Chain A
Amino acid sequence: MTLPAMAASIVTPGGARPLLALNGLTKRYGGLIAVNNVTMSVADGEVRAVIGPNGAGKTTLFHTITGVVKPTSGTVHFDGESITGLPAHTICQKGLSRTFQITSLFPQMSSRENIMLAAQARNPSRWLPWGGTGVFSRAREDADAVLEQLGLAPVAERPAGLLSHGDQRLLEVAMAMAQSPKVLLLDEPTQGLSVEETGQAVETLARFLAASRVTVLLVEHDMEVVFRLADKITVLHRGAVIADGTPDAVKANPSVQEAYLGGME
């Protein structure tokens, strides 16, 4: 066992093998500490949510894990290997696929083409400068499978920019899942949806995640979404972890109640 893997296993004593482990992760912007010494881990197969009020540093934490921004200090280990500070595309190639808080798609391509481009990234022949019939047909199979699973098949041909907001959110999940990731990182999957849309999207997601058994790290501020989807919860407040555990334990935690209720100055 490598040293980092040992360090990671200490974080979750007795639990399943941690697939993703953060150790003392910190991100400063000048005087502002957006992510403050965060140590946490995601076990293989679990759905973990990171929650916290707006401005708690959830999205910055995500960006730091996925290589969009480089951490000021601390480490990120994935499957026992350090991925700290690697470029975003390299981290994705290792098996971490993400969605964005603000919908990020290829608006003029059809839903299917969006997913095909995502699926193609896992094909060693993705560089091929001619032909590529085989690459495309494999990507198309992958895309059609995910479109079906997430109920997007009826809008497969429609340009992504013309989909409803709810479908756009699901399309982003579909793109990430078409890459068969080892860890799926969801940044506020119901961001900007109406209450009704949120309900539908969460049901679809819950069914989908249960069926796929993928490991998930989820960032969310909507509590109902979190309690419906997550096995474990980490609570972030002003960039730092203030609680960690099962949904029930976190709900009962006094400092969490303080942050969410009393903490709202």
Chain B
Amino acid sequence: MRPATVLGVLAIAALLVAPLVLPVFAMTLLTELVILGLFAMSLDLMVGYTRLISFGHVAAYGLGAYASGFFLLNTEMPLIVAVLAAAAMTGVLAIGIGWICTLATGVSFSMLTLAFAQLLYAIAFKWTSVTGGSDGLAGIPRRPGPFGFDLFSSKTGFYFLALGCLLGSYLLCRALVNSPFGAVLRGIRENEAKTLSLGYNTRLYKIAVVAVAYAFGALAGALYSPFAGFANTELLFWLLSGQVLIMVIVGGSGTLIGPILGAAFFMLLEHQLSSYTEAWALFFGLVFIAFVLFAPEGIWGLARSWFGRSQPAETKATGNPS
């Protein structure tokens, strides 16, 4: 087996036995970490594989969080159904968002994604009957079922649900980026005009990847609200869009694994630094700058070169006139 495979198996084993050895507060942190990892990984489909930089990925997270919260509070849906329904619903909505955002390219695209997130933020404040306004949705239950299946209702059970979602999503995303569809995404990333002239309807591919990325981002959000027991407008605030983008870049974009590590790194660093200083964001900013300047391949890129299985991407091509 390759070292990476061994490492992957060990990591999964460690995550599986974690509830047996870690104290409760650490399990809470780990669950949140798994959710954020899923959120960051979903953004990587756009940022890392298609070079669609979203400044508003929080829209996916917030939509998922509010939708699953709403379903759990107002319907009889079991937890797992509500979570999956919220992700699916957001994916469908994102077709519309993607359709509009891809009318623009480059920075304008990014600004449109931000605009949609801000629009949803405003709606969450105003549409009180559904979103609870500035109070948000509180007391979101982790309803058992279907068929009386109640493992996911407990804290540990919920952790396994989140972990299962992360692993399942990772496998689906990996299949996607290694498929013919994924090859076209990489074409768009490197040279969209050429991809278009080769006969690919690049806009449709971009809309599709936005919808998929939003669906997985919403899955993360949909897990978060029953995890925390509430959904409020902070889950649609633009700050989180910036943070998740940083997680992707620090972790290593275009690798799927990297952003998960980036999310873990971000959370643990925040956790550690914030116990020493109020100005933890300042120090994190410095770390971010260091990564961008000295390790643009991110944590996963560094890890891969340590394991000596760095890809030909190391010999990066530079001089192309186009």
The chain A residues found within 8 Å of chain B, CB to CB, are 66, 68, 87-90, 92-93, 97-98, 100, 102-110, 113, 116-118, 120-123, 125-132, 135-136, 159-162, 175, 179
Bitwise interface map of B from 293 to 322 toward A, beta carbon under 8 Å scored 1, else 0:
000000000000000000011011111111
The verdict on B127 contacting chain A, using a C-beta distance below 8 Å, is no
Given A104-B322, A108-B313, are A175 and B179 also a contact pair (CB < 8 Å)? Answer: no
Q: Give A198 to B108 CA distance when docked, in angstroms.
A: 41
Given A106-B187, A129-B175, A162-B315, are A123 and B320 also a contact pair (CB < 8 Å)? Answer: no
The verdict on B196 contacting chain A, using a C-beta distance below 8 Å, is yes
Given A88-B197, A121-B199, A179-B199, are A128 and B179 also a contact pair (CB < 8 Å)? Answer: yes
Residues of B contacting A: mostly: helix
Residues of B within 8 A of A123 (CB): 180
Given A92-B199, A108-B313, A159-B312, are A130 and B179 also a contact pair (CB < 8 Å)? Answer: yes
- Those of B210-250 within 8 Å (CB) of chain A: none
Q: Give A237 to B186 CA distance when docked, in angstroms.
A: 40
What is the minimal beta-carbon distance from A251 to any residue of chain B, in angstroms?
33
Bitwise interface map of B from 160 to 184 toward A, beta carbon under 8 Å scored 1, else 0:
0000000000000001101111111
Q: Give A159 to B202 CA distance when docked, in angstroms.
A: 23
Cross-interface CB contact of B199 among A89, A103, A105, A162, cutoff 8 Å: A89
Q: Is the CB of A125 within 8 A of B180?
A: yes
* Chain B contact residue count (CB 8 A cutoff): 33
Q: Is the CB of B197 within 8 A of A68?
A: yes
Q: Give A179 to B184 CA distance when docked, in angstroms.
A: 15
Q: Give A107 to B191 CA distance when docked, in angstroms.
A: 8
Residues of A contacting B: mostly: mixed
Q: Is the CB of A92 within 8 A of B198?
A: yes
6 further A-B contacts with Cβ under 8 Å, apart from A107-B317, A107-B320, are A103-B320, A107-B190, A107-B322, A120-B180, A128-B181, A179-B199
Cross-interface CB contact of A89 among B183, B201, B315, B320, cutoff 8 Å: B201
Contacts A/B (CB < 8 Å), 22 sampled: A89-B198, A103-B320, A103-B321, A104-B197, A105-B320, A105-B322, A106-B191, A116-B183, A117-B183, A117-B184, A117-B198, A120-B180, A121-B199, A125-B180, A127-B180, A127-B181, A129-B181, A132-B180, A132-B181, A132-B183, A135-B180, A136-B180
Q: Is the CB of A106 within 8 A of B200?
A: no
What is the minimal beta-carbon distance from A190 to any residue of chain B, in angstroms?
15
Q: Is the CB of B319 within 8 A of A128?
A: no
Closest B residue to A66 by beta carbon equals B197
Residues of B within 8 A of A132 (CB): 178-181, 183
Residues of A within 8 A of B313 (CB): 108
The verdict on B194 contacting chain A, using a C-beta distance below 8 Å, is yes
Q: Give A128 to B197 CA distance when docked, in angstroms.
A: 20
Closest B residue to A132 by beta carbon equals B180
